[in-house]
Structure 1
Amino acid sequence: MKLFQGCLPILILFGLVLTSVLVHAQDDQSGFISIDCGIVERSTYTDNVTKINYVSDADFIDSGEIHNILSIYNSFDVDTQITTLRSFPQNTRNCYTLKPTQGKGNRYLIRARFMYGDYDFKGQLPEFDVYLGPDYWDTIRFNSSSKPTNREIIHVLSSDYIHVCLVNTGRGTPFISAIELRLLAGDMYKESTEFGSLYLFSRVNFGTAFTTVRYEADKYDRLWSPLLWPNSTYLYTLDKVYTSLSANDPPEEVMSSAITPEYPNASININWSPHNSTDKFFMYMHFADIEILKRNQLREFNIYLNGNYWIGPFSPFNHSTVTTYSTEPETVAPTYTLTINKTKNSTLPPIINALELYTLKQFPQKQTDDQDAAVLWSIKSTYKLNTKNWQGDPCTPPEFVWEGIGCNYNDTELPRIVSLNLSSRGLNGGIDPGVANLTMIHTLDLSNNNLTGTVPNFLSELNFLKVLVLKGNDFVGPIPAGLQAKVDKGSLSLSFDDESTSDPASSCDKNTCKNKKGNKIIVPVTASVAFLFLILISFIAVWMIKKQNEHGLDIRKKQYTYSEVQSITDNFSVVLGRGGFGTVYHGIIGDTQVAVKMLSGSSLQGDKEFQAEIYLLLDIHHKNLISLVGYCNDESHKGIIYEFMANGNLASHLSENSSFLNWEERLQIVCDAAHGLEYMHHGCKPPIVHRDIKGTNILLNESFQAKLADFGLSKAFPTEGGTHISTAVAGTPGYLDPEYYTSNRLTEKSDVYSFGVLLLVVITGHSAITKNENDIIHISRLVNLKLAEGDINNIVDPKLQGNFDINSAWKAVELAMACVAHTPSIRPTMNGVVMELNDCLVAERARRENKAKKLTGLMSLNLESAYDPTPI
């Protein structure tokens, strides 16, 4: 504990000077941000009581609905700011973003205010969480519709941005009435905040039953609540009470009142119980003797906390403030009793004027690098992006990372933006110059927008940039020499107009780079040349097929008779596996191995699924989708002939007695699978949903390249309109999207859920569903329970024996949990999944090569299908 005892003569000497300074300071709200939530956009007003200037919240958030509390709750003593509010029936998380002028490193009082007032006419008090940036602040609960509640914290900013986020926990619609930010003096609460942030438990003005004291009396707008303590005598003075040079001191209006025991020999006893059993308290006690003592009188006391000596003896100054406070957190206890006893020499009972109690609150998560965050806010403003989840911090917490954003998380550094996908977002104008400040970015996709002008040279100055996708825009002029040089060296993959400049001759000319949409001159001979070119290509294709057949490689997508299939499989002598469709046999056509899947009579899949898979495989081609060789469609015998996959399916390699897959191999396999699924979602017209993503449907060739298989349940979306299709539920228990299961609404996010379960299975080595005597536990629940322990080694498959990059493992787990989010809208797209998994793979490969564990500049992966899902 520490005692502030101002010297009375000095205080009197400087009294007039300090008073003059404070008078001018009262009008200074330069360190204030005062937001009235729910008032009309761009409106402002000055509060009649406090003289604080309030503004609308519309410039700080772009979601929510505005409401008023019911008139029956709007009495004369209700603050104007809490008569309106903004509610958030949409989105799981909604965030206000504030950027105070003074920036990071400063100490602020941050206050959020809430009053229900039955604004929604439901009469049901909601409960929801409030976050400060990426970290949990508190849960908001209400005792009454007519009683407001505040949450206040003293916090040192580590970022230029402050995010106040409301999170729906399924117990009512979140809302907020006001947000108030107050810059504190540099030395206020300094020693306490070195331990963390200070969560306000109570701030009491003893000895008065009048209204709360705040600004203008307190220039920092702290709220001092009036309290008449039982068994106490109320003291008050009209004389001036001086404050010390410490900014911690309460205002004069607070120090002008006090309490003392009703009986002269009694003690002052103040009791409280913590909200949580682990709460650590800081105390600030303020004293000023506001009685005029006679020569033979003495007021002297000791202070005890839970019976333990705390400080003393000391005497408060006459009409001058003395503050004593905790210099470290007090000992944790189930209850607290603060006792103030007069000493043997004291002729007067003890006194206390005001008390502040704070609990220590830690906010451990780091916010995104300010420069990176500023670029994202600039992009959002410049292009007027209306993206639901572009709220709060771009990278943290990981489960709410912005759509299209890839981040690098490092325990010793701030999260950095390493990939940005703004494809098909309707961007207009030039490329935002702020992109030049994304100094760690390795992947940038701006394809399929309406961007114009020249390709800026600053892109060539991004040292870690490996993939740049600019196709589908209206750029003109030459490619910057710096970019072209990187392309020529092979350090940059540059795509433009559906082509990749990794081969300069196949893409933009070095002198001009006009998009096809920008070419307005159409010469008739162009069509003739194009027609002749197509004929030439057709002849070449026919010739190549004939040459292939001449060499005995009769691998054609043709219909085979049942007798031919018998010959191919040596009369079905070698079984590769069995599934719901039927049995898979090994076969040989010419010198090439194949796999033949024959439909059994008892199969759950029938002719409809058989036909669906044949037609789908005839139309789509990608290096990570199984290739069709042929099919058999005799009346009583139906089969599909695929390319042979020497290493079977992924599930067999994750079983207990399987061959071992290391962390890099697991990541590469799920990357491959993600590429294939991404092509189905984003590269096919119309998009296709697989509907049965699981380990047994991911096959591995001789080099362990993964390919998706079993498309009998796949569904194509209509070509025009619609975000989902209604269809009977199909899939595998444990992998089935709960939202699809309950609503029959099939979307691409249904596949994302299944892929998330698959990713958890690959990470943990557990099955999707674990059964025991008392319960059936889904893998997402199991992982969620282990996440609370904070140890990645308790989550990752123990067979790996800790031999993996920790950052990539955490990132993979966070990605998987995002994929299995209950709300489909907050799950990532497969584009996003591919980018995140590529980052994981880069990190793991860097570890294995004993290089720096960074996700940028380590190696050049082929990310083409992440941004241009073209058949390969």
Structure 2
Amino acid sequence: MSKAPSVFRSHTTRKGFVLLNDGERYCTELLMQGFISIDCGLQPDNSSYTESSTGIKYVSDSSYTDTGTSSFVAPEYRGNMMQSMWFVRSFPEGVRNCYEIGVNVSAKYLIRAAFMYGNYDARNELPGFDLHLGPNKWDSVKLESSEGTVSKEIIYSVLTDTLQVCLVNTGNGTPFISVLELRQLPNSSYATKSESLQLFQRLDFGSSTNLTVRYPDDVFDRIWFPSTPDGSKQLSERSTSSSRNSSGKFHLPQAVMRTAVVPETVGGSVDFGWTPDDPSLEFYFYLYFSELQEPSSGSVSKREFIISFNGNSFGRPFSLTYLETLVLSISNPLSEQSFQFSISQSRDSTLPPLINAMEAYFVNKLPQSSTDQNDLSAMRNLKSTYKVKRNWEGDVCVPQAYTWEGVNCSYNGTSMPRVIALNLSSAGLTGDISSDISLLTQLQVLNLGNNQLSGPIPSILMGKSGLSFSIDGNPSICATGACEELTQNKSKKKKLPSFVIPLVASLAGLILIATISAAILFIFMRKKKQGRTVHRTITASSNGLSLLRRDTGSMPPSMQRRETGFSTRPSLQRIESGMTDHDMNETAVDGFDMEPANRKFTYAEIVNITNGFERDQGKVGFGRNYLGQLNENSPTVFSWEDRLGIAVDVAQGLEYLHTGCTPPIIHRNVKCTNVFLDENFNAKLGGFGLSRAFDAAEGSHMNTAIAGTPGYVDPEYYTSNILTEKSDVYSFGVVLLEIVTAKPAIIKDEERMHISQWVESLLSREHIEEILDPSLCGDYDPTSAFKTVEIAVACVCRNSGDRPGMSQVVTALKESLAAEVERKKDLPVVSTDSVEDLALGFGSNPPPRLR
């Protein structure tokens, strides 16, 4: 059903991996962080390599399975195949053999297994076998030729930290596998009511190369097969300089979206479809459209089309504009005997209909629940500890036909299976009795007889009620006191010396007194602490994440909306009380909003602030946010527009402090970790613990002790103790350089260097591309980038008189942002607004079904 005879053939991509520069290589490595690529059968001494045609790094499967045999495919089948297809791992022994792969809990993965026989066993006998995902059958593997490749692909949301892919011998030949690949997807992608979608087909309509498209063109390494339906012809974009933004949740590859098919005849239609082998299968499909024809000046052209499914029209017509991308999908799966689509021109359209690509998936329900996770972990630990050589592969209890030897499980149909009996007699066990057995909390029968175990029986097993266990035939297990207590008659136990009894009684009395005293002291201290805490309400000027976390964790819900409170910074309270409502700039300065001191936060608000901070900032603030994991356990890189927007917000906040407050305020501690983002990435400036106010009528500066964070402190202020508004400008310049470069204020490579020195050394050689964060992958307006770097360098001038004021900085940054926005005006964004549910076209009723 998903057979792919040419998908793993080697061919050169448009941009060979070996030709990538440092920035592009960094970009590909960043995208591959969610990739797991296993070359099955690759010898451990050749533990990894990089596939030349894709740039993907493959590793040996030796650390993912401990069974099977490694073999080479026959030489005549290696010539034009990717290196990952040269080896296979076969499993001549055992019924079920499995790979166990560590994954991110609650993440969504594209999982792909590929098989090429290649006469690896010199028998020329094509095998057939089953493929399982965890405890459930995924699909059957049937090969039709020695050189043909069969690929099975499924999108699956994992619930645990381990994923099992198993091959099951069905009596039709020895199971084998060539490649196993996992690609982590955003959890928001392919959002359906099912946790598992099996690929039926993924088509690139109108391909100009007639080659498959995959990574690096497709950032998720989906494989797109070229296709031109009967009665259609190819249409390609004339200009390849235009760029389609792939920031949407589908991340469609430009190589696919730059080609399409249109009807061969005027007034014709584009027709395609499929007939499933099983008409009960439930399908989801995704249709992708992007206008390729740039309108000429003065001409009026319109591409509008009607989509019909099995003879029924999907409601209204759909239209496209140049470079716009449209995704049409359904929210509820459909079961049909046949799926036939027809795309035709509407009466108002001046251009023929087109389609660029499509995907179809069917629901694979995977009904079996896996064994209880605690039981599963305990059994895996026992397997590892005792090196058990039985059929202990895959899930412990399910499917029931493949339950681990020596294990009995309980099945009640509504909850996960549990291990209730474990027979490890005559299993060659040595060493101590593992405490992991105690983790089998539903265990009722345990047989460890006739092994070479030694040491004590764990006390938790001895005290477990309802457990029947046998240790007969382990001569060394009773060489300890614990065993003696279990097996010897009480009347034969040695009496304790007479002096031990009063000594034990005295010690017990002392312990009892100490315990009671400690409990009283604990209760007293707890009440005393609660008495202090209950009267605190966090005001706008209570600064510091540590204070928020402490008080959020200790404030009871009864503290919500209290009418009294105090500020931890009386001086700032006085400053705030002098502000009028007109003066407030609530969008740019947050402490966590620069509001009057009588503003009180409720308990719920504090929880929301703290949780929101950790969700959006990680645990160390914006200084790490734009470098690392933002959400969904997948790498997130802020775009150039996002970064400029953040910079403008922070600059406006400082401008407000300097010119909008009476009296003016100097922040004194501007740094990345004092920049907070809301859920929409609007920046707020916080951390006012070191801020100072001054009377502008008495001068433009003040003498004060040095305060701030190393790397951000104005060097002129540091040497003179004279604090001015330009000190904040310097600190902001450092923050701006961090935003631009993704490097810290103090760069610790071979020697410590300030970020401003590093930037200036490259700027003097006009190497702007080496200054910018390579994870941007060149997606920015060069003029905007150069201007932004110039602004930052001007802010960090050693002479404060050469630095611009914050009003000038705000104006310049807005110009840079406008240039970037203008550049992106013509770039389509695949967003929820451009993803339409085709079910809407049928009103409240589903489409008629063929019978």
Pick one of 254, 257, 261 that aligns with 2:256: 254
Query: Which residue type is aligned with residue 194 of structure 2?
Result: F
Aligned residue number for residue 438 of structure 1: 440
Instruction: Answer whether contact 2:131 2:167 (CA < 8 A) is retained.
Output: yes
Query: Once superposed, what is the RMSD of the aligned Cα atoms?
Result: 2.7
Alignment of 1:514-529 (within 5 A): none
CA distance change for structure 1 residues 508 and 106 in 2, over 3 Å: closer, same or farther?
Answer: farther
Which letter does structure 2 place at the counterpart of 1:206? F
Superposition deviation, residue 460 in structure 1: 4.5
1:227-242 paired onto structure 2 within 5 Å: 227-237=227-237, 238-242=240-244
Give the Cα–Cα distance (whole angstroms) in 2 for the partners of residues 40 and 246 of structure 1.
39
Shift of 1:336: 2.0
Cα contact 2:218–2:251 (8 A) shared by 1? no
Code of the residue aligned with 1:44 in structure 2: it is: S
Match for 2:73: what amino acid? I
Q: CA deviation at 1:360?
A: 1.3
Is 1:184 the counterpart of 2:185 in the alignment?
Answer: yes
Alignment pair present for 1:47 and 2:48: no
Residues 529-544 of structure 1: pairs in structure 2 closer than 5 A: none
Q: Which residue of 2 aligns with 1:641?
A: none
- Give, in angstroms, the shift of residue 197 of structure 1: 1.7
Matched AA of 2:183: R
- Equivalent residue number for residue 641 of structure 2: none
State the alpha-carbon separation in 2 of the partners of residues 508 and 400 from structure 1.
48
Q: Give the structure, 1 or 2, with the largest relative contact order (CA under 8 Å, sep 6 or more).
A: 2
Tell me the equivalent position of 1:145. 146
Question: For 2:360, what is the secondary structure of its paired residue?
Answer: strand
Note if contact 1:241-1:321 (Cα within 8 Å) is conserved in structure 2: no
Deviations along 1:367-414, whole A, 9 cap, x unmatched?
111221111111111222222x11111111111111111211122211
Task: Choose from 300, 306, 309 the match for 1:296.
Answer: 300
Query: For residues 585-624 of structure 1, what are the structure 2 equivalents within 5 Å?
Result: none
Which runs of 5 or more residues in structure 2 are unaligned?
Answer: 1-22, 497-851
Determine the structure 2 residue equivalent to 1:457: 459
**Are residue 204 (structure 1) and residue 188 (structure 2) matched?**
no
- Tell me if the contact between 2:449 and 2:470 (Cα under 8 Å) persists in the aligned partners: no
2:331 alignment partner, SS class? coil
**2:322 alignment partner in structure 1:** 318
Say if 2:95 and 2:169, in contact at 8 Å, map to a contact too.
yes
The answer on whether the counterparts of 2:64 and 2:99 sit within 8 Å (CA) in structure 1 is: yes
Per-residue deviation at 1:459?
Answer: 2.6
Q: Note the C-alpha offset of 1:287.
A: 0.9
Whole-angstrom CA distance in 1 between matches of 2:32 and 2:491 = 58
CA separation in 2, counterparts of 1:26 and 1:312? 43
Do the aligned partners of residues 377 and 200 (structure 1) sit closer, same or farther apart at CA in structure 2, a change above 3 Å counting? Answer: same
Query: 1:578-589 maps to which residues of 2 (within 5 A)?
Result: none
CA separation in 1, counterparts of 2:79 and 2:140? 27
1:479 matched to 2:482? yes
Q: What SS does structure 1 have at the residue aligned with 2:180?
A: strand
Conserved? CA contact 2:130–2:170, under 8 Å: yes
**What is the CA distance between 1:224 and its match in structure 2?**
1.1
How far apart, in 2, do the equivalents of 1:212 and 1:405 lie?
47
Deviation of residue 244 (structure 1)?
5.8
Which AA in structure 1 matches 2:350? T
State the SS of the aligned residue for 1:149.
Answer: strand
In structure 2, the residue matched to 1:723 is: none
Q: SS at 1:479's partner residue?
A: helix
User: Using a 3 Å threshold, how does the CA distance of structure 1 residues 286 and 26 change in structure 2: closer, same or farther?
Assistant: farther
Structure 2 contact 448–469 (Cα < 8 Å) conserved: no
Pair 1:65–1:190, CA change in 2 (3 A): same
Answer whether contact 1:241 1:320 (CA < 8 A) is retained: no
| Corresponding residue of 1:93 | 96
CA distance in 1, matches of 2:87, 2:495: 59
SS of residue matched to 1:453: coil
Shift of 1:466: 3.9
What is the deviation of 1:59? 2.1
The CA distance in 2 between the partners of 1:280 and 1:89, in whole Å, is: 35
Counterpart of 1:273 in structure 2 is 275
Q: Which amino acid aligns with 1:120?
A: D
* C-alpha distance in structure 1 between counterparts of 2:336 and 2:491, whole Å: 68
- The residue correspondences of 1:760-799 to structure 2 (distance < 5 A) are none
Deviations 1:783-827 (A, max 9, x none): xxxxxxxxxxxxxxxxxxxxxxxxxxxxxxxxxxxxxxxxxxxxx
The Cα of 1:357 is off from its aligned counterpart by 0.7
The answer as to whether partners of 1:64 and 1:87 remain within 8 angstroms in 2 is yes
* Bigger shift: residues 247-256 or 350-359: 247-256
Please list, as runs of the form range in 1=range in 2, the aligned pairs for 1:412-811 lying within 5 A after superposition. 412-460=414-462, 462=464, 465-467=467-469, 469=471, 472-475=474-477, 476-479=479-482, 505=489
Maintained 8 Å contact 2:279/2:335: no
Q: Which amino acid aligns with 1:109?
A: L
Cα deviation, 1:557-581, whole Å, max 9, x if unaligned, reads xxxxxxxxxxxxxxxxxxxxxxxxx
Output the amino acid matched with 1:275. Answer: D
Q: Distance in 2 between matches of 1:298 and 1:507?
A: 101
Report if aligned partners of 1:87, 1:175 keep a CA contact under 8 Å in 2. yes
- Deviation by residue 1:663-714 (Cα, 9 ceiling, x = unmatched): xxxxxxxxxxxxxxxxxxxxxxxxxxxxxxxxxxxxxxxxxxxxxxxxxxxx
Q: Which residue of 1 aligns with 2:114?
A: 113
Find the aligned partners of 1:242 and 1:507 in 2 and give their Cα distance. Answer: 87
Q: What SS does structure 2 have at the residue aligned with 1:239?
A: coil
Determine the structure 1 residue equivalent to 2:358.
355
2:118 matched to 1:130? no
Q: Relative to 1, partners in 2 of residues 1:473 and 1:263: Cα closer, same or farther, differing over 3 Å?
A: farther
> Offset of 1:150 from its aligned partner?
0.1
CA apart distance, 1:75: 2.3
Give, as a single letter, the amino acid of the residue that structure 1 aligns with 2:64: F
What SS does structure 1 have at the residue aligned with 2:317?
strand
- Matching residue's letter, 1:203: R
8 A contact 1:289–1:320 mirrored in 2 = yes
Aligned 1:817-856 pairs, distance under 5 A: none
Aligned to 1:342: 345
CA gap 1:470/1:222 in 2 versus in 1, 3 angstroms: farther
Amino acid corresponding to residue 284 of structure 1 in structure 2? Y
SS of 1:324 mapped into structure 2: strand
Greater CA deviation, 236-245 or 353-362?
236-245
- 1:79 corresponds in structure 2 to 82
Q: Which amino acid aligns with 2:229?
A: W
Q: Is this contact kept in 1: 2:230–2:271, CA < 8 A?
A: no
- Gaps in structure 1 of 5+ consecutive residues: 1-19, 485-493, 495-500, 513-872
1:122-162 CA-to-partner distances (Å, cap 9, x unmatched) read 22222222122222222211222111110011112234332
* Shift in alpha-carbon separation, 1:299–1:445, aligned structure 2, 3 A: same
Which amino acid counterpart does residue 200 of structure 2 have in structure 1? F
**Structure 1 pair 456/331, CA: closer, same or farther in 2 (3 Å)?**
closer
Distance 1:421 1:253 in 2: 57
Query: Structure 1 residues 461, 345: CA separation in 2 closer, same or farther (over 3 Å shift)?
Result: farther
Aligned counterpart for 1:65 among listed residues 69, 72, 75: 69
Q: Specify the alignment match of 1:830 in structure 2.
A: none
> Deviation at 1:311?
5.0
Aligned to 1:790: none
8 Å contact kept, 2:40–2:87? yes
Residue 266 of structure 1: how far off its partner (Å): 0.9
| Aligned amino acid, residue 332 of structure 2 | E
Does 2:173 align with 1:169?
no
SS in 2 for 1:30: helix
Q: TM-score, normalization: structure 2?
A: 0.52
Tell me how far apart the structure 2 counterparts of residues 230 and 64 of structure 1 sit (CA, whole Å). Answer: 45
Please say if residues 133 and 393 of structure 1, whose CA atoms lie closer than 8 Å, have aligned partners that are also in contact. yes
Q: Among 32, 35, 38, which residue is 1:32 paired with?
A: 35
Provide the rounded CA distance (Å) in 2 between the counterparts of 1:508 and 1:30: 65
1: distance between equivalents of 2:216 and 2:491? 67
**Alignment match, 2:810:** none
What is the CA–CA distance in structure 2 between the aligned matches of 1:391 and 1:507, rounded to whole Å? 48
Alignment of 1:2-17 (within 5 A): none
| 3-state SS in 2 of match to 1:286 | strand
- Helix, strand or coil at the partner of 2:32: coil
Tell me the SS of whatever aligns to 1:420: strand
In 1, the alpha carbon distance for the partners of 2:176 and 2:226 equals 27
Q: Percent same amino acid at aligned positions?
A: 37
Matched position secondary structure for 2:342: strand
Please report how far the alpha carbon of residue 474 of structure 1 lies from its aligned counterpart in structure 2 after TM superposition.
2.1
Which residue identity lines up with residue 434 of structure 1 in the other structure?
Answer: D
